[in-house]
Structure 1
């Protein structure tokens, strides 16, 4: 393969990972935002408003619970058959299920079947996301060489703020409609629009070559137990890589769903909160590759420790700024929490995932680790935070303590794991070798 073609492929893979993950998170986080705003009224109207909100967040959690299943299933076939085909399939499943949510009748039309169908489609979304993230990260990491692997891998996770930005802008647009129109049909438009994003994403993804690391592994290594068996045979790596993501994913869930309802309860305008979240997502598109590039220079562990320790120290102050009631304090909290605290710990994590497992089980290991962390750190966070807010009689202390505790788990796991940035991705066994001796691939 020529050097110019390799460079073009690396850029195409990076853009594919960015757009693919953006679609996945647009759909996934769009659901979370609307769960906070209207799903309690549309699908759980017979419940007390507070209980209805918790129930709608429960369907949000259902998507997270399904994600490990998607990680195992798509990870298995991604490790056996290839990364590219699984990524195309996950994108199709996500786009179609989101489109169907946009067509779903409400409780008023079909009664109890409305929340049941909503929960099923949410679970299907979760299965698709379970296979998307790990495959996208690996495709980029396995096309890049070790010198800038963190930077290029961050393009995949940049899809999360890009998807969040798109979903926030979409919600801002439809919430500008008169209330009755928003509740009757406006909320459906962002879900229906996902079919357009699906078409664009698939067009880009079809131009991507299969991972060179996977192709080489298929030529030289055709034996071995199922990938999940290799992962569970030595679970320490899975446990630590899972624990690393707990802190940043709790922040992501808090700043994507819970904080919207909380800030509005504290007297902030819904449009102002949504605008702050959108600006924070836009800033992440700058701070995320910067933090990942820093991890290429000083190491994954030091970079993640800076972010996790800062989150422990600043968990309460960031919430106190919202509780104070000023718009300036709200914006500082939204932008700093979203674009700095989460990012510094989160941006190097994809590279760590790719560098911690051998080629035979890398898709399964990266997907399962991320999704398990997502279930605990993301899926239950809105429910936990809402319950803690109630237990604290509206005070934010318990929620801040929960955020700090999750980041302490991240600190411990980062301290226990080895530095991974020099690992050789061409190692096919259970874990990559150290130090990195992989052949250089061309960088753009």
Structure 2
């Protein structure tokens, strides 16, 4: 286990300590809001893709092909995320975490709001799905750095002893966004089909602008993290002496690929549980749309217990052990899950989706935040973590609903999807045996943990 003191600059007075505490809570609240915004956006799209977008943007194809088309557009957002992660991560390592997070919240807020303003297919034809693709791309471009930026900021503010718990606020933000999206959709799906098609589906996307404004207002007043400020001081001193050169990112190191593997084990199962399964229940099993929406709502409520518990467990027992356990449980979960969904019993279906989200979208994600920050050195932490996480996401979560829909269309059965689910969880499980235990690591260290 790599364990060192954090190396924070000590406050020289009670006033300094009060100021540091105030900035910590501002950063925490701002990161929570920003991540809530990001995941509200993606949860809104995931629910809309499974429930209504096939009728709005792809009305002239079969239900299975409409579902496939909706999730194909879903994947566009994930294609943009690594590009945004590389650009904004590079910017964040040079200009600061706060600077980037102000920009990303603006991009995400505008993109999501404009999705709610797109005319449907019957109004502008093929331009409707084209506009959806463009806005999904810009949404993903901003989101590619939002999650990692918040994770880095919280990790660099937190004390080493409680870094897992504090960093799990990022996962709480994602859970809050999912909860908000499911609450809004639960209300919206109560509308009759005609009103849902014409204007009801737009309300969740338009309302997301409120979160964006709140997050932007708070972020304007937060301060850079102590770790980043110390790094900048060191660079200024070294520059004065003529000793410094940041250099290029170079080739990805071991820590980068470890993060990719960990991300695949979490993100793929997560988006199958909260994305594809929702569409499978609503469009393939033809169950009432409120059933999968209720499942997402219940899981999101339980997440406020599961996520901090997972972060606390990782502080006490280590990142590797807890992450490995979640991956193992996901490998086991995959096979009975679809059998239980096929029962068509509402509460069995709800419990199945809740369990999958509890393991993949909540628990494992609560551990990943602190581990990701600790894997990388301060020099290129934002860039490397953001790109690794988004590359892992595009290889798993970004394409998982699309691949699952294609497998279902080709085989006409769920067994191939269960195998796909297990393979992704297995990648995360095996990666934990290659990853170092980083609990308590000094985040001022320049070198990666491995």
Contact 2:37 2:208 in 1 (8 A): yes
1:431 and 2:448 correspond: yes
Aligned equivalents of 1:369, 1:282: Cα separation in 2: 29
Distance 1:328 1:110 in 2: 40
Could you give the per-residue CA deviations for residues 218-257 of structure 1, whole angstroms, max 9, x where no partner exists? 110253345632xx2x422111111111122112211222
Unaligned runs of 5+ in 1: 434-444
- Is 1:243 aligned to residue 265 of structure 2? no
Superposition deviation, residue 284 in structure 1: 1.1
Aligned to 1:440: none
CA distance in 1, matches of 2:247, 2:89: 10
Question: Which segment is superposed worse, 320-329 or 207-216?
Answer: 320-329
Give the Cα separation in 1 of the matches to 2:410 and 2:447: 45
TM normalised by structure 1 equals 0.93
Q: How many residues align?
A: 428
Q: 1:95 aligns with which of 103, 106, 109?
A: 109
Counterparts in 2 of 1:198 and 1:422: CA distance versus 1, 3 Å: same
- Cα distance 1:259–1:392, how it changes in 2: closer, same or farther (>3 A)? same
1:376-403 superposed Cα distances (whole Å, 9 cap, x missing partner)? 111100111112222332x321111111
Q: Is 2:208 aligned against 1:187?
A: no
Tell me whether 1:366 sits opposite 2:385 in the alignment. yes
Q: How does 1:307-318 map to 2 (within 5 A)?
A: 307-318=326-337
Which of 18, 22, 27 is matched with 1:8 structurally?
22
Aligned with 1:384 (options 398, 403, 423): 403
Is the Cα contact below 8 Å between 2:50 and 2:275 reproduced in 1?
yes
1:424-443 deviation digits (Å, cap 9, x = unpaired): 1011x24159xxxxxxxxxx
Provide the C-alpha distance between the structure 1 equivalents of 2:202 and 2:137, rounded to a whole number of angstroms: 18
Distance in 2 separating the partners of 1:164 and 1:274: 10
- The answer to whether residue 205 in structure 2 is matched with residue 178 in structure 1 is no
**Corresponding residue to 1:228 among 246, 249, 253:** 249
Alpha carbons of structure 1 residues 274 and 227: separation in structure 2 relative to 1, 3 Å: farther
Tell me the residue number matched to 1:62. 76
Gaps of 5+ in 2: 1-10, 237-243
Match of residue 90 from structure 2: 76
Q: RMSD of aligned C-alpha atoms? A: 1.6
Work out the CA distance in 2 between the residues paired with 1:378 and 1:341.
Answer: 11
User: Is 1:343 aligned with 2:362?
Assistant: yes
Q: 1:361 to 1:39 in 2, by over 3 A?
A: same
Instruction: State the match for 1:114 in structure 2.
Output: 128
CA positional deviation for 1:328: 2.9
CA contact (8 A) 2:269 2:425 kept: no
Query: Is the CA contact 2:295–2:353 (under 8 Å) kept in the aligned structure 1?
Result: yes
Rounded Cα–Cα distance in structure 1 between residues aligned with 2:247 and 2:337:
45
Please state whether the residue corresponding to 2:380 is helix, strand or coil. helix
Partner of 1:399: 417
Cα distance, 1:341 vs. partner?
Answer: 4.7
